[in-house]
Amino acid sequence: MFRYQPLDADQEEIRIVRFVRPFDPGAPLALELRHTALKGPRDPEPYSALSYVWGSDRHTREILINGEPIAITFNLHDVLVQLRENGVTGWLWADSVCIQQAHTAEKETQVGFMGQIFQRAGLVYMWLGRSTDEMYLAMSFLDSFSPNTPLRS
């Protein structure tokens, strides 16, 4: 079972993950996790952030973080598979794996950093769930308000 290492709250540390390479489509999702500081003498490691609907935590999938198993929601699993298939290789912040959910004090501190986390992200991915006809209709409607923003599924 994956064990989190403590974060340094004074340095406003966060955890970020990226896909382990090379990708093996038949293997479980595997992520590498590291710490980076939002505060301090150096800029944080460049990363993207993920905003997504958690979905039910009653049904989970297992992935590997630093070679150790951890359970995540189906919805997070779906978005990670999609990001990997889309060729995303950089560092990523996703709250449910980057914050130790069983540690209340850490969760409270990290939630306090979320504005900075999203503001400092080089890119923010948004995931509403698997594609459906209704999703395409909604995205087309939203695209009509911002024709210069390409939409990808």
Model confidence pLDDT, tens digit, residues 94-128: 999 999 999 999 999 999 999 999 999 999 999 87
Residue 43: the pLDDT is: 76
Nearest to 14 by CA among 32, 41, 37: 37
Q: Assess whether pLDDT exceeds 60 at residue 61.
A: yes
pTM, two decimal places: 0.84
Measure the CA–CA gap between 48 and 121, rounded to whole angstroms: 5
Q: Which of 13-17, 26-30, 105-109, 139-143 has the least mean pLDDT?
A: 139-143
Mean residue pLDDT of the chain comes to 89
Tell me the mean pLDDT in the region 3-20: 95
Measure the CA–CA gap between 95 and 120, rounded to whole angstroms: 15
Q: Could you tell me how many helices (H) and strands (E) the chain has, helices first?
A: 4, 7
